[in-house]
Structure 1
């Protein structure tokens, strides 16, 4: 007689899911076991305390906590407590005046230097068209951020 039900093979979906969850499940079991052991240890250490002892411990905890909070509140509202000092922001005396109108570049670029800048911009644009060139372009831009912006600013300055 032929069996109508499939045997549980090693590749069944249930076993695959269990294998995927296995490390995490073992980790969760280990954490649960550790928590259980800690709880048992704490229970053994405090098993001899009576209900009256627990009330005294709770009362002491509440008194110290409330007392500490009241101290912090009163100290914060007290005029003589250590405050964060505010100082007025002032301009340093040794600053150099920067006047945009009087600042001009006295250097001039030759025609060959301007052409070199234009050729470099065209080269950078052409690099972006191919996948290998894009890698080269990205590495240049990563190592020299703001290079293209500087070229545009210099070119616009000398064209005007």
Structure 2
């Protein structure tokens, strides 16, 4: 009855072997790096005597322990802590007000006005598409950044007055 409790352990798939080889390569690379660093440090410190090693050890211990003590004391003694200020994100209000004013005012737009707006919009679009008019188009968009948005709002207003 013991043979029924065995698990099927077939983990010789390609991905497992690849992961194992990759991890082995990383281990080998880190060991080579450690070996090179150890030999470099050994060459740089070969001329130091035993007394100088003791002085280096004592100065290192003294500096690190004094810094740790300073940080502990500073943590308990400082009453004020600097905190990160959180600035709430707000929606731009002028866009919503403009659209609301257009809807609330119930201005009627004539067919002639709409045709002139559509003609102007086509002119602006043709400027943006032509290489020679691109400079003029960019200067207009830089001076009047909301112009195309305003034109679309007016066109939507015209179309909405016939839906109601």
User: How does the TM-score come out when normalised to structure 1?
Assistant: 0.44
Structure with more of its chain in helix, by fraction: 2
Greater relative CO (CA pairs within 8 A, separation 6+): 2
